[in-house]
């Protein structure tokens, strides 16, 4: 392979400079690709995988810190608080996903002015949403935690965690826009730098606040808020440094163009509904787990770290698909689209098999590192086989999410997730009654399988809609 392609990140003679819109258009549409597709996908995916894996490592650190406090209710409180922020922040994940898709297409088409306008629109939307979250924070926290459930002690610790973390909400959402721009323009090494910085700050802060300042659960939440704030400062610096050069000043009419705003609203609406369904499924999972006692709730939360770690890792290939599919569609190149889907699917499958092997072989050891609560350990090891099976079932939904986000075909994403949620609710209600928490995990795997199958039905039509180069 080294004879057929230059070193990763080094452009061939006669090709545009890497990282420019011209390079994206050239590499997406040139019939003789300068870099072998496997290498191209890996060069994009591996920095994203590393960046993504810093997220669940952070979650594992939070879990380990809470898991070594005095009682399972601390771990349950952090788990419920984390689930609340999944709803709030991931619920607005369209700020990252929509930005990636639109930026990738503008990048592939070499439309630098529209690329800049897309980022500015997204930041303005972020400021409005973040202000709204802060305005309604108290009823938002109260209603969400009551809906999930849990004992009084778990609820109390969750409240403390949420109130310590929520003040950084606008900045955390702003980091989504920065990440979307970095992924859409294929600046994956800077994406890695940004995520490693944010999560390194978070890990240092949580150890400082909990063990040096003795802030307990509040310290865990405050550490994440600190990291989000400093991460956004870095993100603004990256945006300024990487801005397109030589463009005229921002044009108000172009920035608030009615057609562009309508497209943005429709795209974000669809992704919001899709994400709300996804988070509702995990909220329902946590709710049904909480009904079985604090130990089962904590065990499920601990095993969801396995799911989250796997999801973030495999999402590296999905993010690579977003960038490559978006660039291919921007360049109107069906062949590049097919190559992007095929190669990212292959590497996603290999990654999923690897995660399953690790979980089967080392899952019990990982559980012992995350908590010293005997009851939680025993419950988690009982349900570990389902977490080990999950990667090879979940991977297809993750990958196809990336394909459809890059194509900005958000209606299909929304429809597939609504169907999957309905299947999950029906399956979980039936299987929980028959098999207890085992049934709940089986229903979760059925949900993951349904995500992949429903999106796969739309894939041929997506390919046919791309004009041949």
Q: How far apart are the C-alpha atoms of 44 and 52, rounded to whole Å? A: 13
**pLDDT value, residue 464:** 77
34 domain-assigned: yes
Helix (H), strand (E) at residue 21? helix 21-29
pLDDT level of residue 18 (50, 70, 90 thresholds): very low
* pLDDT cut 90: percent of the chain above it: 27
Q: How far apart are the C-alpha atoms of 173 and 169, rounded to whole Å? A: 6
13 domain-assigned: no
Q: Which residue has the higher pLDDT, 433 or 123?
A: 123
Q: Which residue has the higher pLDDT, 30 or 269?
A: 269
15 domain-assigned: no
* pLDDT cut 70: percent of the chain above it: 89
The number of domains in the chain is 1
8 domain-assigned: no
Average pLDDT of the chain, as a whole number: 82
Closest to 105 measured CA to CA, from 336, 317, 262: 336
Q: What is the pLDDT of residues 252-273, one digit of tens each?
A: 887 888 888 888 888 888 988 9
14 domain-assigned: no
**pLDDT value, residue 108:** 78
pLDDT level of residue 53 (50, 70, 90 thresholds): low
Contact status, residue 340 vs residue 321, Cβ threshold 8 Å: yes
**pLDDT value, residue 297:** 82
Contact status, residue 289 vs residue 438, Cβ threshold 8 Å: no
Q: How far apart are the C-alpha atoms of 340 and 336, rounded to whole Å? A: 6
Closest to 386 measured CA to CA, from 348, 356, 426: 356
120 domain-assigned: yes
Contact status, residue 182 vs residue 239, Cβ threshold 8 Å: no
| pLDDT average, residue stretch 23-37 | 46
Q: Which residue has the higher pLDDT, 250 or 270?
A: 270
Contact status, residue 230 vs residue 198, Cβ threshold 8 Å: yes
Q: What is the pLDDT of residues 89-108, one digit of tens each?
A: 777 888 888 888 888 888 87
Domain that holds residue 211: 25-464
364 domain-assigned: yes
In the numeric block, which tokens belong to residue 123?
């930041």
- Block residue for tokens 């979307």: 180
Helix and strand numbers (H, E) in the chain are 18, 0
For residue 68, pLDDT beyond 60: yes
For residue 8, pLDDT beyond 70: no
For residue 396, pLDDT beyond 90: yes
Residue 357 neighbours by CB under 8 Å, 6+ apart: none
6 domain-assigned: no
For residue 463, pLDDT beyond 80: no
Q: How far apart are the C-alpha atoms of 74 and 156, rounded to whole Å? A: 9
For residue 46, pLDDT beyond 90: no
User: From the CA atom positions of the chain, what is the Rg in Å?
Assistant: 22
pLDDT level of residue 467 (50, 70, 90 thresholds): low
Q: What is the pLDDT of residues 167-184, one digit of tens each?
A: 998 999 999 999 989 988
């Amino acid at each position: 392979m080294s004879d057929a392609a230059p070193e990763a990140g080094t452009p061939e003679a006669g090709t545009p400079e890497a990282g420019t819109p011209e390079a994206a258009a050239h590499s997406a549409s040139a019939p003789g690709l300068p870099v072998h597709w496997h290498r191209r996908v890996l060069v994009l995916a591996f920095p994203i995988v590393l960046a993504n894996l810093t997220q669940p490592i952070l979650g594992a650190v939070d879990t380990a810190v809470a898991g070594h406090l005095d009682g399972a209710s601390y771990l349950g409180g952090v788990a419920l608080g984390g689930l609340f922020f999944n709803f709030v922040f991931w619920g607005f994940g369209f700020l990252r996903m929509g930005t990636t898709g639109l930026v990738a297409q503008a990048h592939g088409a070499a439309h630098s002015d529209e690329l800049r306008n897309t980022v500015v629109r997204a930041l303005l939307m972020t400021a409005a949403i973040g202000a709204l979250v802060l305005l309604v924070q108290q009823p938002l926290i109260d209603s969400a935690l009551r809906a999930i459930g849990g004992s009084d002690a778990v609820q109390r610790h969750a409240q403390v965690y949420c109130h310590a973390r929520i003040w950084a909400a606008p900045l955390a959402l702003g980091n989504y826009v920065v990440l979307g721009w970095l992924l859409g323009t294929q600046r994956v090494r800077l994406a890695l730098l940004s995520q490693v910085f944010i999560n390194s700050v978070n890990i240092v802060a949580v150890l400082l606040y909990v063990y040096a300042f003795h802030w307990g659960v509040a310290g865990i939440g405050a550490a994440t808020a600190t990291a989000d704030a400093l991460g956004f400062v870095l993100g603004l610096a990256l945006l300024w440094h990487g801005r397109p050069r030589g463009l005229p000043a921002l044009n108000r009419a172009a920035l608030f163009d009615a057609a562009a705003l309508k497209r943005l609203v429709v795209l974000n609406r669809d992704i919001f509904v899709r994400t709300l369904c996804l988070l509702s499924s995990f909220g329902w999972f946590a709710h049904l787990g909480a009904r079985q006692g604090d130990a089962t709730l904590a065990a499920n939360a601990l095993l969801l770290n396995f799911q989250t770690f796997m999801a973030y890792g495999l999402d590296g290939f999905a993010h690579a698909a977003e960038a490559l599919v978006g660039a291919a569609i921007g360049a109107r190149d069906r062949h590049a689209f097919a190559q992007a889907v095929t190669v990212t699917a292959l590497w996603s499958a290999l990654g999923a098999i690897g995660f399953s092997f690790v979980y089967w072989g080392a899952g019990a050891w990982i559980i012992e590192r995350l908590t010293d609560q005997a009851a939680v350990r025993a419950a988690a090891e009982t349900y570990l086989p389902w977490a080990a099976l999950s990667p090879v079932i979940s991977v297809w939904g993750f990958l196809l999410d990336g394909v459809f986000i890059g194509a900005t075909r958000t209606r299909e994403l929304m429809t597939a997730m609504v169907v999957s949620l309905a299947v999950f609710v029906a399956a979980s209600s039936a299987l929980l009654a028959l098999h207890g928490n085992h049934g709940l995990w089986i229903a979760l795997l059925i949900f993951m399988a349904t995500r992949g199958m429903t999106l796969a039905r739309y894939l041929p039509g997506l390919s046919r809609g791309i004009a041949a180069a």
